[in-house]
Amino acid sequence: VERELKTEHLQDNAGGISRAAELLRAGALVSFPTETVYGLGANATDDRAVARIFEAKGRPHFNPLIVHLPSVDAVSEYAELSGITHDLAHAFWPGPLTLVLPLKPNGPLSALVSAGLPTVAVRVPAHALAQKVLEAAGVPVAAPSANPSGRISPSTAQHVLDGLSGRIEAVLDGGPCGVGVESTIVGIEPTPVLLRPGGLPVEALEAALGAPLAVRGDGAAINAPGQMTSHYAPNAQMRLNAERVLEGERLLGFGPVDAALNLSPSGDLVEAAANLFGFLHRLDAEGDAPIAVSPIPDHGLGRAINDRLRRAAAPRD
């Protein structure tokens, strides 16, 4: 993809917010922070703007995107909340949860957003700057993570610029993302199913539902990068659940181990999630010696961390 645009680096102030909103309304691509990762936003009612997201990311297919809205009240114009999804929305929005909902018939969203499916993924982010931009834009904003296809998701504005400078009109800088892994995605098929572990722990969803959450089997095909085996990939080979470091390996540590980069020396999974993508970006920048990763418990945010690490470690094609 050519890099011919002059990407504006907008700041977290009134001028930056109104410029980001103006660009979004005009069909431009604007990266903005959320509590999970930086999104690559476009007006979700504008076919051409949405198509440009795929072009800028170098995404090979038109996969469905998440629509970002400033409040629960805004949802009914685009999608249908009812029963369980109504309850989950009111329990967890704003927050790192994405719900796959029936599209409102004849609604204003571009068909590219939902890739022709009868459903649309929706989320109300908890990040104050994201909410201000969404309010100011006054249009629904489709946004995947703001990284070139197949690469590590961005948790700072600098990561966004490293990957997409010259391919997008602007990035709005809100500092590092607090959660650090993408949202948890839940669909209703026809009972609730976990489609992607993420920033909202599965345990919190199960407590709200009062029942265990089914997980979509690995065999079920969805043709989207987030669901592809190799994704979130650094250049180096990665080896997971490493109890010790082999010769030539760099250690990405967790817990009380001796590592130059430790996701959380105290074993805190929330801290580890917040550090994950930034540390992978650093390891990527530092070279391509293989990476060993300490074992990480598979509960709470550990579910999402292990999911992303498995994809980063998967064989490349």
Enumerate binding residues for ligand TXA (CB under 6 A): 34, 36-37, 39, 63-66, 98, 100, 114, 117, 119-121, 123, 143-145, 182-183, 185, 187, 195, 222, 224, 226-227
Q: Is 52 annotated as a binding residue?
A: no
34 binds, among ligand TXA, Mg ion, none (CB under 5 to 8 A by kind): ligand TXA
Q: Measured from the CB of residue 35, what is the shortest distance to Mg ion in angstroms?
A: 15
Closer CB to ligand TXA, residue 114 or residue 306?
114
- And the tokens for 117? 């499916």
User: At its nearest, how many Å lie between ligand TXA and the CB of residue 191?
Assistant: 15
Q: Is 182 or 249 the residue whose CB approaches ligand TXA more closely?
A: 182
Give 21 or 276: the residue with its C-beta nearer to Mg ion: 276
CB of 225 to ligand TXA, least distance (A): 6
Q: How many residues does the chain have?
A: 317
Instruction: Report the b/e string of 233-253 with b at 16+ CB within 10 A.
Output: bbebebebebeebeeebbbbb
Tokens found for residue 189: 């098929």
> According to CB under 5 A, which residues from 128 to 147 bind Mg ion?
145
Residue whose CB is less far from ligand TXA, 179 or 291: 179
Taking the least distance from each CB to Mg ion, the nearer of 38 and 92 is 38
- 71 annotated to bind ligand: no
- Please choose which of ligand TXA, Mg ion, none residue 117 contacts, taking the beta carbon within 5 to 8 angstroms, the exact cut-off set by kind: ligand TXA
For Mg ion, which residue has the nearest CB?
Answer: 145
Q: Consult the annotation and say whether 153 binds a ligand.
A: yes
Residue 31 in contact with Mg ion, rule: CB under 5 A: no
- Residue list for the binding site for L-threonine: 36, 68, 123, 183
